[in-house]
Amino acid sequence: MVTDFEVTEPMIYAELHCISNFSFLRGGSHPEELVQRAAELGYTALALTDECSLSGVVCAHREIKENNLSLKLIIGSEFRHKSGVYVLLAPDRQGYSELSQLITHCRRNAPKGEYIFSPEQLLSLNYCLLLWQPERAYCQAWLTQLTDTFTDRLWLLAEKTLDEFDDAHFTYIVQLGEQTGLPVTAASNVHLHHPSRQRLQDCLTAIRLNRAIHSIRHMLFANSERHLRSARKLHSLYSRALISETMVIARRCHFSLDEIAYLYPTDSVPEEKTPSGYLRELVEQGQKIRFPNGTSEKIQQTIEKELALIQKKKYEHYFVTLFDIVSYARAQNILCQGRGSAANSVVCYCLFLTEVNPEKVQLLFERFISEERHEPPDIDIDFESQRREEVIQYIYRKYGRERAALAATVIRYRPRSALRDVAKACGLNAAQQDQIVARYAGRYLGKDWMERVFPADGSAQTKLLRSLTEEILGFPRHLSQHVGGFVISEGSLTKLVPVENASMAERTVIQWDKDDLETLGLMKVDILGLGMMTAIRRSLNHLGLQMSDIPNEDPATYKMLQKADSVGVFQVESRAQMNMLPRLKPNCYYDLVVQISIVRPGPIHGDMVHPYLKRRNGEEAADYPLPELKPILERTYGVPLFQEQVIAFAMVAADFTAAEADQLRRSMASWRRKGHMHALRQRLRTNMLKKGFSEEYIERIQRQLEGFGEYGFPESHAASFALLVYITAWLKCHHPGVFLAALLNSQPMGFYSPAQLINDARHHDVTIHPIDINQSNWDHSALADDAVRLGLRLVKGLSQETAKLLITKRPGNGYQSIQECLSTGKISKHEREALASANAFACLSEHRYHARWSVSEPSGHNYQPDLLSALSSDNPWPLSAPDEVEDLLEDFQSSGVTLGRHPIEILREKGFLGDSVSAAGLRERAHESECYIAGIVTCRQRPGTASGVTFITLEDETGCANIVVWLGTAKRQLATLMHARVLQVYGKIEKDEKSGITHVIAYRLIDLSHALGHLKTKSHDFH
Amino acid sequence: MASSAQLTAVMSSWMYLWFPDMYLHSLMTDSADTRSPCVLLSERQHVLQLTDTARTAGVQPGMSLASALLLCPELVIHTLDSTYHQQLLTQRALWACRYSAQVYPDSPQGLWLEIGSMLKLFGGLRNYWRQIEQECLRQHWPVQIATATTPLAARWLALSDTGRPTLQAKELRPLIDALKLEDLQLPHNQLLNLQRLGICTLAELRRLPLAETGRRISPDLMHQMQQLDGLRQYPMTPFQPPLTFSDSALFSHDVEHRNGLFFPLSRLLNSLSGFLHHHQLSVRWIDLSIQHRDQPQTHWQIHFARPEYRYNELIQLCRYQLERQQLPAPATALNLNVERFCPRASEQAELDNSEAGHQKQSINLLNRLYSRLTERQINNLQTTGDPRPEYAWNIATPTKHHTDSAPTRKGQWPLWLLATPVAIPEPDLSPQTVVHGPVRIDSGWWEHVQIRRDYYQLFQHQQLLWVFRDDQGCWFLHGYFS
């Protein structure tokens, strides 16, 4: 039997028909694996010809470059039609553009993920080479047409895959070549880099057809021959002539993705001006506003330096384009701010791309644009999320769909989806699939989840499922749209990269993702949405301020943050951040940059947090592993915290070249997953050992790199975010009412529900007025003296349209009766009842039950008060009025917010909580004493960074208490932990005197969710 | 209100039996079963019913299977089969027929019994109640029982498990007034609407004017209140015991040979066919019992390959089968019984398509073959599309629907395939002998029966052979081309 697994001598062969796993659910190998294997086998060239797609080509291109593989990559694509398989190859730049446009055309005319191809489209191609594998029933006329169009560019494609069709098909094509005189070439219809992937390929076929493998046996390939085959085997299958023809074709293809000449859009530069002249003009205009008292010499020098660099790299259009987008937003009063490497650029500050004043804040890092490398600047712009769509539509309007499209995000198999699809393909029924997926159970399993889902002593079937799951993880599944990365080009974008439809109507995406764009140096503008921007804009509008008007380094603001009093503050409101605030005690802007970067997987996995805190608090002296590292690590006391620091660190401590460092940064996301990263990791280790670093330290750095991969958050982004942290903290500190109203009006966003935000504000002496049909507007309104009137938007089930109608028609002295109010227009029964139950008619009726009854007449054209009915609103209510608990339950049901007593306070008064201490009382208790504490569960978190720990936040009438549940307790009381809404905990108090942080280590959890129901015989579902 | 209502109210005596978690309990056959945590899932994989042990583990009704498994990994899972559910209730209704002449099933797991006429027979309500309770206990059926003077009142009392053995208005009234609305399985929206008016019990609901309640909350609710008080009839469908067909032919003279049975049988089949037409049903088999003068009855069961209802076909098929039977003794009577039927709708729809004629013919043929041969002698050959020759076909029983068959692979495979490949010495692979090949087959991993073979067609000894070499390099003969 012919075996072909050994690597053989270099050979003269080019594989011209090869699909990767970017032909979704068809190809069984990553593009990287294919080029690696082709190079190993000594192929001269490999054409990547995914089905109507160029999605995988950049991965292959990058892999070849990064590993210096001696393999020529040919760009092509496969189109399937009943008249045969057509493989188009791009010989040159024009051919590439043609191919890209053809793919775009086929994709844009079809629903997302599909394409419509008709062979007639080929007749307009002037440059592409065509390999055709005709079906027998081809039409003679069609052959003539093709031969005429593709003079000297057409080959018949004969392939032997040793299956039952081979003989007939292969012989037929070779004979056809002889009859017509057309040249014939051979290929292997490659789907796999190695035959061992056939199992996975069968599995993918089943997933694609949404059936179990055993029921689609007729659709499976009979063998695993569609792989990259050895020279020996190819020579035994194909004649010398066929093989050498592959080389003829390969030699004609000399296009490389490096040739993609991307041109920035020039629209925003007026015709009569030069790009650099115009950019300078814009910067100078901005300078006058940003530095009204004149620009200091130092700043001016920086500006000159930056402008020179921009000119040298020809990035003027990029900055002018960004300026144009941001100017549009500013003109529409849409708040925005840039982040990324631009954050320390004075030019960006003057162009209003960023708000971080470089004069007041010391420049944090060296690089704003890399001079050595061909890499576009990295600037993300956050817009108010409620209005981001306006900006996106502006871009489409200005540049047209021909020139602007969103970058793609490749959706890949993750554990849950992999388990589900593999189980289904292997014929497990729905309940069995659920059982396997349930065993994964995501959050409650660690990195060894595979062992837990598939026990080692399992059956052969279990082992099979496991190995297939392992292989499919990370496989691309489909393309989705990037959150906001726009690619804009000067000419037609489709000549650069195919564009296809996204699932959202009116959206189009290119076939490359952000890594691909970066590899090829294409400009991407990230138009991101940030809910907090809306809240800031609303607050600033109310106060009549600009972001730049907010005083710098306000001590009261920092004092508030040091107490972890940060509910509602951007980025630092999470439980983990709140834990860090009293330890880190930020007292300047740069501390905030550190604060938001330190509670991240990178520094935590690298065990860098504690050393940093110790050194910062002066318990330990700063220390630098190497003197050369001092400039890099000085501002963090010798502890590498930021992604940029770790990369610079690698360059100094492990002698990485700029290119290697760059590779390191890009590959961090796959640090653990991909085998080929091993080399880089090994190199880091060897070189650091040579320089005298301890094994333990190296291990930490490596873990930190892994951590950055999970959630990279560089300093350049933190710098801009820190500004938003400061601004929101300042607003909360000095204008809590205004800030609360703005936060509530920007929902949904952030970490806390409206009820929690309101509760917190009440603890800060903000007066909250209830929803009132005669006082409330749609939005929540900030009133004088830190008071807030809740808006009608809080009423569940009330439309904005109805609310606006009620407000517009409201008389100056308010509605005098429910009837008057409801006669303003057509208001549905459902909405009338929603208002009544939210107690909006409190000023006009006895109580909400009676009000609800009064308005519950069936809908007519207009509300007709029924004066004759036995129980109109004038008659007394025959049943009891709602008591405190009923009011509370109704409040939660109708608006999610209650202004009455806290439910826990009521339970405490009624004796349901025994001698539980309150959250405030906890602080009075001694360290290590034991107690009961009860509250409403407002947060339940199991961060990946804290192994096995679940954090619970319990809210009561005095504030919040933090509970820590260790894994053992969690497992014993999983049901209570997962489902309790009102929870009592017995446990031990742990107090850190220095930071004042107190939490309770839970021993026992008691579910009191039904206690409120028991207060009354009537029970509602209480949320 | 009470006095005027009584004038028009229709009062009678009702008992309602509510079998909580009937489906799940029916699956528990011994006490070990009840100890293991067990759930019944809806088709959408949500928990419908559960055992106490599952409840203790934190599983709740309505929970998704994934959450339930997280809480209780050793959970035993059953999925609801609505036909079985219906059958269960039918069984209970049949059982209840012993206690009442008028049984009304209330899907999915309740029964009404009209008891007014039965109480005397059972020695009063308390005895009647006790007897039913004990019988349920004996059968291990959890049950909630209530009696009342209207069907709805009995149902509601049973649902909230507050029934007492009484039919006295003054005793029933407080029980009914105390009913909590949330226990009554009212539509969710209706219940929520009432709760949000502060109305939680029937007594509270009664304090609002009924007509207004109907207008403002739901006309259905008003109707239910009237049904509760007997002012409006509650719609119920009486239990129909399952359908059977039984007909007999008595002979004036003893029949000594089976041929003598054909004439009386044709009459019975004629009336059966009429019955089947009337009810739009078909039969898969009929039971014939033959009475003898001094011997026990003879039972013959006659099966058909496909459901049948046409007289001509029925008589033909019976004739074929009876030809193989011998009468053990002279017959005095012939009885035809049918207890199981199948609905005819599906079959007719099948015949409506374009291939109807052809298909009908093949059904007829199959039925007749089936009547001649025993069941084991007739089978369908099905293609599976499997790349491995040994698995490319399988044998299916004729009742399996023919669409299970997959398209054939277009390979050049011999018609005569050896049951087991025969080892052969390495053949001559010169171009003169190799007609075709190699064809490589490397498949079957999903069943852990992977084969890796290269197949050749060889022309040797004036025969076209199908041989292969396996991955060990051994050669085998696997078939002959005709």
Closest-CA residue of A relative to B474 is A1
Contact B212 A869 (CB under 8 A): yes
Name, in order, each residue with C-beta under 8 angstroms of A357's C-beta and a sequence gap of 6 or more. A290, A349, A548
**What pLDDT does B5 receive?**
39
Q: How far apart are CA B316 and CA B372, in angstroms?
A: 11
CB atoms within 10 A of CB B391: 17
**What pLDDT does B23 receive?**
86
Residues of chain B with C-beta less than 8 angstroms from the C-beta of A419: none
3-state secondary structure string, A363-395? Answer: CCCCCCCCCCCCCCCCEEEEEEHHHHHHHHHHH
Residues of chain B with C-beta less than 8 angstroms from the C-beta of A887: none
Residues of chain A with C-beta less than 8 angstroms from the C-beta of B215: 857-858
Going by C-alpha positions, the residue among B411, B423, B231, B177 that lies closest to residue A217 is B411
Task: State what percent of residues in chain A have pLDDT above 90.
Answer: 43
What is the nearest CA distance from B354 to chain A, expressed in angstroms? Answer: 26
Check residues A360 and A325 and name the one with the higher pLDDT. A325
pLDDT by residue, tens only, chain B of 482 residues? 333 434 356 678 999 999 998 888 877 755 555 678 888 888 778 898 888 888 888 888 888 887 888 788 788 888 888 877 887 888 888 888 878 888 899 988 999 999 988 888 888 999 999 999 998 998 888 999 999 999 999 999 999 999 999 998 899 999 999 999 989 999 998 998 898 998 989 999 998 888 888 888 888 999 999 999 988 999 998 888 777 788 777 776 778 888 888 888 888 888 888 888 877 888 888 989 888 876 677 888 888 878 888 888 898 888 888 888 888 888 888 888 888 888 775 444 444 444 455 556 666 666 666 555 544 455 556 677 888 888 877 665 544 444 445 666 656 778 778 878 889 999 888 888 888 888 899 998 888 888 899 999 898 888 889 999 998 999 999 988 86
- pLDDT tens-digit map of A641-689: 887 787 788 888 888 877 777 777 766 655 444 555 677 778 888 888 8
Amino acid at A666: R
Beta strands in A396-435 (DSSP E): 404-412
Contact A202 B446 (CB under 8 A): yes
For CA atoms B446, B450, B452, B457, the dihedral sign is: negative
B470 to chain A, any CB pair closer than 8 A? The answer is: yes
* Continuous H helices in B323-399: 345-351, 356-372
What is the nearest CA distance from A53 to chain B, expressed in angstroms? Answer: 29
Q: How far apart are CA A796 and CA B192, in angstroms?
A: 14
Of the pLDDT bands very low, low, confident and very high (cuts 50, 70, 90), residue A625 is confident
Of A198, A221, A878, which has the smallest distance from its Cβ to B207's Cβ? A878
Q: Decide: helix, strand or coil at residue A978.
A: helix
Of the pLDDT bands very low, low, confident and very high (cuts 50, 70, 90), residue A79 is very high
Going by C-alpha positions, the residue among A792, A242, A325, A337 that lies closest to residue A546 is A337
Query: Average pLDDT for residues A132-149, to the nearest whole number?
Result: 86
Contact A426 B446 (CB under 8 A): yes
Contact A879 B195 (CB under 8 A): no
Q: How far apart are CA B80 and CA A74, in angstroms?
A: 56
Query: String of b and e for A25-57 (b: at least 16 CB within 10 Å)?
Result: bbbbbbbbbbbbbbbebbbbbbbbbbbbbbbbb
Residue A20 in this model has a pLDDT that exceeds 90: yes
Contact A164 B439 (CB under 8 A): yes
**What pLDDT does B98 receive?**
79
- pLDDT tens-digit map of A771-782: 999 999 999 999
Furthest CA-CA distance within chain B: 109
CB A732 within 8 A of CB A569: yes
Residue A1002 in this model has a pLDDT that exceeds 50: yes
**What pLDDT does A551 receive?**
92
Q: Please count the helices (runs of H) and the strands (runs of E) in chain B.
A: 18, 19
**What pLDDT does A648 receive?**
80
With residue B152 as reference, give the H or E element that holds it: helix B151-159
Q: Decide: helix, strand or coil at residue A670.
A: helix
B386 to chain A, any CB pair closer than 8 A? The answer is: yes
Query: Average pLDDT for residues A890-905, to the nearest whole number?
Result: 89
Burial classification of residue A137, based on how many CB atoms lie within 10 Å of its CB (0-12 exposed, 13-18 middle, 19 or more buried): exposed
Beta bridge partners of A528: A382
Lowest mean pLDDT among A33-42, A99-108, A152-161, A638-647: A638-647
Name, in order, each residue with C-beta under 8 angstroms of B32's C-beta and a sequence gap of 6 or more. none
Query: Average pLDDT for residues A901-910, to the nearest whole number?
Result: 88
Transcribe A687-738 into DSSP letters.
Answer: HHHHTT--HHHHHHHHHHHHHHHHS---HHHHHHHHHHHHHHHHHHHH-HHH
CB atoms within 10 A of CB A163: 20
Of B60, B411, B448, which has the smallest distance from its Cβ to A164's Cβ? B411
With residue B451 as reference, give the H or E element that holds it: strand B451-460
Going by C-alpha positions, the residue among A107, A230, A85, A242 that lies closest to residue A171 is A242
CA atoms within 13 A on the CB side of A517: 28
Going by C-alpha positions, the residue among A212, A136, A117 that lies closest to residue A175 is A136
Residue A759 in this model has a pLDDT that exceeds 50: yes
**What pLDDT does B109 receive?**
92
Q: How far apart are CA A120 and CA A103, in angstroms?
A: 14
Residues of chain B with C-beta less than 8 angstroms from the C-beta of A978: 58, 67, 70-71
B66 to chain A, any CB pair closer than 8 A? The answer is: yes
Closest-CA residue of B relative to A868 is B212
* Continuous H helices in B41-150: 52-56, 65-71, 82-96, 119-122, 125-138
Query: Average pLDDT for residues A723-749, to the nearest whole number?
Result: 94
Q: How far apart are CA A769 and CA A376, in angstroms?
A: 52
- pLDDT tens-digit map of B129-150: 999 999 899 888 899 999 999 9
Q: Decide: helix, strand or coil at residue A536.
A: helix
CA dihedral A478, A479, A480, A481 (to 10 degrees): 180
Of A220, A460, A879, which has the smallest distance from its Cβ to B443's Cβ? A220
Of the pLDDT bands very low, low, confident and very high (cuts 50, 70, 90), residue A4 is very low
Q: How far apart are CA A751 and CA A215, in angstroms?
A: 47
What is the nearest CA distance from A943 to chain B, expressed in angstroms? Answer: 18
Q: How far apart are CA A644 and CA A672, in angstroms?
A: 19
B28 to chain A, any CB pair closer than 8 A? The answer is: no
CA A595 to chain centre: 22
Please give the DSSP secondary-structure letter assigned to residue A30. -
Residue A889 in this model has a pLDDT that exceeds 80: yes
B426 to chain A, any CB pair closer than 8 A? The answer is: no
